[in-house]
C-alpha cells in the first residue's frame, strides 16, 4: 500500500536529488533536500483538507489528481507561477521574465518580494474563507466544543463569513499594507492588497460555489439513479450520470488546485530565504508537492479521517493560522519554521485528541458489553 501510493514520490525524489547534484554538486543536493522538507511541513494540513474533499471523488479522479494535478502543482505553481508574478509585477514579457529568473536571480528575488503583499492578500483571503466556513458550520462532531458550539450558532447568520473576511481585509489594508515590507524598504500597498484580497475572496466564492452546486446535483442524481436505470432498460435507451459526475468532479478538482495554489504561496516565498535559484527551488518544492499529493491519497484510502475524526478540525485551524500569518507577512517577516510548526502542532494536537476519543469510546463500549453480560448471567440464575 505504501509503495503503491508513494512510489512516484520516491522516484521523483531520487531523480530530483540526482539532478541537483549534477547541477551544482552536494550543496545543491542539501538545498533541494531542505526545500522538500520545508514544503512537506508547510503543506501537511493541505493534505488533510484535500483528503476530506478527495474521498468524495471516484478512483478515476483520484488518479487525475495524482497525474495532471501534480503537473499543475509542480510545474504550474512551483515553477511557472513565480515567473508569472515577476512578469506581471514588473511589466515584463514571459521570455524576459524567464531570462531574469535564470540569469539574474537576485533581481528576480527582489521582484517576487515586491509582489508579496498581493500574493499574501490573495492567498490569505482564500484560506481565511475556508477556515470561516468550516468553523461556522454546525457539525455533529466538535473538537473544541466550548468554541465551536457558539460559533455554529453565529454561523446561522447569512454571509457572516464573507462579512468577517471583508472586515479583516479592510483592517489589513489600513494597517499592514500601509507599511508593507519590500526589498528596498517599505511602501503603501493598501490599494494592491485590497484588490488582491477581493480577488481571492471572489475566487473562493466562484470555485467553491460551483463545486458545491455540482456536488449537490450529483447527490440528487445518485438518489434517482436506480429508477433512471430501470426506466432506461424498459425504454431500450441508456441513461448515464457520467456527464454530471464529470462536472461535479471537475469543479472539485479545480477547487483542490486553487486550494493547493493558496497553500503554496508561503512555500514559494519562503523558499527565497534558502535559495534564489529557480531551478533548485522548483526541484525542492516539486518533491515536497509530490509527497503532499501522495499523502492525500493515502489518507483517503486508509480511511484515516474516519478513524481520527478531529484531524480535519486541526487542519482547518491550521489553515486559519496560515491565513493570519500570510496577512501579517504583508508588513512583518515571519520565519518559515514558525509557520510550519504552527500547522504541525495543531494537527498533532487534533490527532492526539482523536486517539483519546477512540480510547474512551472503546472503554465505554467494553464496559457496556461487560454490563450486558452480567445482566444475562443474573437473569439466567
Q: Would you give per-residue pLDDT tens digits along the chain (381 residues)?
A: 677 778 878 888 899 899 989 988 888 888 888 888 777 766 677 778 778 777 777 777 777 877 787 777 767 777 777 777 777 766 778 788 888 877 887 887 777 778 788 888 888 898 899 899 889 988 888 898 899 999 999 988 888 999 999 999 999 988 887 776 665 566 678 888 899 899 889 988 887 777 677 666 666 656 665 566 666 666 666 555 444 456 667 777 777 777 777 667 666 766 665 676 778 888 888 888 888 878 887 888 787 778 888 988 988 898 888 889 888 988 888 877 787 788 888 888 999 999 999 998 888 887 776 766 554 433 333
Q: Which residues contact 31 (CB under 8 A, 6 or more apart)?
A: 20, 274, 275, 277, 280, 284
H or E stretch covering 187: strand 185-187
CA–CA gap between residue 120 and residue 169 (Å, rounded): 11
HSE value, Cβ hemisphere, 13 Å, CA-based, for 233: 5
DSSP state of 177: G
Q: Residue 270: its pLDDT value, please?
A: 62
Over the Cα atoms of the chain, what is R_g?
Answer: 24
Q: Locate all alpha helices (DSSP H) within 141-189, ordered by sequence.
A: 145-154, 160-174
Which pLDDT belongs to residue 101? 78
Give CA angle at 223 (222, 228), nearest 5°: 80
| pLDDT value, residue 238 | 57
Global pTM value: 0.74
pLDDT computed for residue 4 by the predictor: 74
- The C-alpha atoms of residue 288 and residue 44 are separated, in whole angstroms, by 10
Q: What is the pLDDT of residue 221?
A: 59
pLDDT for 381: 34
Q: Which residues contact 326 (CB under 8 A, 6 or more apart)?
A: 120, 121, 123, 124, 127, 265, 266
Q: What is the 3-state secondary structure (H, E, C) of 200-266?
A: HHHHHHHHHHHHHHHHHHHHHHHHCHHHHHHHHHHHCCCCCCHHHHHHHHHHHHHHHHHHHHHHHHH
Query: Angle at Cα 255 formed by Cα 43 and Cα 334, nearest 5°?
Result: 35
CA distance linking residue 12 with residue 30, whole number of Å: 16
Distance (Å, whole) CA 294 – CA 289: 9
pLDDT at 223: 67
Amino acid at each position: 500500500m505504501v509503495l503503491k501510493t508513494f512510489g512516484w514520490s520516491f522516484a521523483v525524489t531520487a531523480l530530483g536529488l540526482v539532478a541537483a547534484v549534477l547541477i551544482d554538486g552536494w550543496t545543491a543536493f542539501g538545498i533541494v533536500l531542505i526545500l522538500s522538507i520545508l514544503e512537506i511541513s508547510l503543506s501537511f494540513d493541505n493534505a488533510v483538507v484535500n483528503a476530506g474533499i478527495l474521498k468524495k471523488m471516484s478512483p478515476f479522479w483520484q488518479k487525475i489528481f495524482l497525474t495532471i494535478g501534480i503537473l499543475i502543482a509542480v510545474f504550474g505553481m512551483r515553477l511557472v507561477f513565480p515567473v508569472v508574478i515577476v512578469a506581471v509585477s514588473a511589466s515584463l514579457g514571459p521570455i524576459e521574465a524567464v531570462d531574469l529568473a535564470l540569469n539574474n536571480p537576485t533581481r528576480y528575488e527582489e521582484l517576487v518580494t515586491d509582489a508579496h503583499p498581493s500574493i499574501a492578500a490573495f492567498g490569505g483571503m482564500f484560506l481565511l474563507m475556508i477556515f470561516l466556513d468550516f468553523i461556522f458550520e454546525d457539525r455533529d462532531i466538535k473538537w473544541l466544543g466550548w468554541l465551536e458550539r457558539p460559533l455554529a450558532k453565529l454561523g446561522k447568520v447569512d454571509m457572516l463569513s464573507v462579512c468577517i473576511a471583508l472586515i479583516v481585509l479592510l483592517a489589513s489594508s489600513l494597517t499592514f499594507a500601509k507599511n508593507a515590507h519590500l526589498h528596498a524598504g517599505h511602501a503603501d500597498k493598501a490599494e494592491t492588497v485590497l484588490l488582491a484580497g477581493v480577488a481571492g475572496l471572489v475566487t473562493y466564492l466562484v470555485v467553491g460555489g460551483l463545486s458545491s452546486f455540482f456536488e449537490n446535483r450529483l447527490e440528487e442524481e445518485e438518489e434517482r439513479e436506480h429508477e433512471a436505470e430501470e426506466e432506461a432498460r424498459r425504454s431500450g435507451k441508456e441513461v448515464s450520470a457520467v456527464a454530471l459526475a464529470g462536472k461535479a468532479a471537475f469543479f472539485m478538482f479545480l477547487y483542490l488546485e486553487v486550494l493547493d495554489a493558496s497553500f503554496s504561496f508561503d512555500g514559494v516565498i519562503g523558499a527565497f530565504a534558502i535559495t534564489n535559484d529557480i531551478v533548485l527551488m522548483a526541484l525542492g518544492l516539486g518533491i515536497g508537492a509530490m509527497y503532499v499529493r501522495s499523502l492525500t491519497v493515502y489518507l483517503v484510502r486508509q480511511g484515516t479521517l474516519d478513524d481520527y475524526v478531529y484531524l480535519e478540525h486541526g487542519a482547518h485551524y491550521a489553515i486559519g493560522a496560515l491565513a493570519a500569518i500570510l496577512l501579517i507577512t504583508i508588513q512583518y517577516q515571519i520565519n518559515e519554521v514558525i509557520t510550519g510548526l504552527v500547522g504541525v502542532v495543531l494537527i498533532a494536537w487534533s490527532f492526539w485528541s482523536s486517539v483519546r476519543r477512540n480510547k474512551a469510546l472503546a472503554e465505554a463500549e467494553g464496559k457496556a458489553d461487560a454490563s450486558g453480560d452480567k445482566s444475562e448471567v443474573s437473569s439466567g440464575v
